[in-house]
Structure formats: structure tokens, C-alpha cells
Amino acid sequence: MKGAYLILKDKVFYSIHKKRKFVLGNAVNVAKKLKDGRIGLLHVVDEDLNKGFMKNFDVYDKLTYFIHVQVEMPSEEFIEKLKEINVRTVALPWLYKPSQNFSAVFVKKGFEEWVEKFKDIVVDDEEIAKKIGKNKRLFTINLKFEGAFCEINYISPSFIL
């Protein structure tokens, strides 16, 4: 499966290209174009959620009707609300000790012990990806890795045009 790494703020998707953030457009419209381009999963960093605001719930509700969505969670505060509309939630163990309520865990160096507690693992480091067992579903970010369940990549500006 192919995925897109996106930043969401005020119902607008952004991406990163050459270390710079740029506007893609209205989140629902961008997601439809990505779906047509064979993207099956949106991996979202929600800047509003990171500030403690659930401004984009309606966007997630619309997206989950036609594409898979997973969101990096800055805390456990909105997990249940997002799970009710089939949004996958990704734990960030360097910010807090995650519970089993999350759909997946993002594992970075120094936090490898979390691999054993979750079936779905998000990584952006090849060394860690190599250590993860075959009984896990691996979601890689900007990393080509044989056997990954989903390769999540930044979207270039030309993809949307």
C-alpha cells in the first residue's frame, strides 16, 4: 500500500518538499486527488490537534468514507472520538506512555521497547525497520523497505497540480 505524509491545519493539507512546507489545498479535495493517484492511506500530523484543538473532526469524518487515515496523536485526549469515525491513531512514546487504545505506535531510536506492545509499527529509520519482526505490520515514512505493509512518502507539489 502507498501512503502520503501530510500536515493538516485549519482544514488545509500541507506537505514538505526540500525541507520546506507548502500548501496542497483543501484537505478533502487533496485527499480525493491522492486516492485517484493510488494512495491508500493518509498519515496526518494535525497542527491544530498538537495545540489541543479538535478543529478538523469534520474533515476526518469526510475522509474516512473513501480513504484510510491515521493521525499522530500528541496525547490520548481525542482517541475515542477519532476511533468512532474509523481514524487510526498513532502513539508517540517520546511524548507520553501510550496505552493499548492506539492503533499503532511510532518507534524511534530509544523507544524500541514499544514494538512488542503493538501490532502496527510506524518507523522512519532503516535500522529500526530491520529489527522489527515479521509478525508486525510495518508503516515506513520516507523509507523504502522490503516487506513494509505501507510506504508513506511526502507528496511533491507536482503530484497535486
* pLDDT confidence of residue 21: 92
* pLDDT confidence of residue 157: 77
Domain ranges of the chain: 2-160
Region 121-132 average pLDDT:
94
| Better-scored residue on pLDDT, 102 or 158 | 102
* pLDDT confidence of residue 156: 84
What CATH class does 2-160 carry? alpha beta
Q: What predicted TM-score, i.e. pTM, was given to this entire model?
A: 0.95
Q: How confident is the model over 56-99, as pLDDT tens digits? A: 999 999 999 999 999 999 999 999 999 999 999 999 999 999 99
Q: Considering the chain, what is the average pLDDT of its residues?
A: 94
Beta strand ranges found along the chain (DSSP E): 2-9, 12-17, 20-26, 41-46, 68-72, 88-91, 104-106, 120-123, 137-141, 150-154
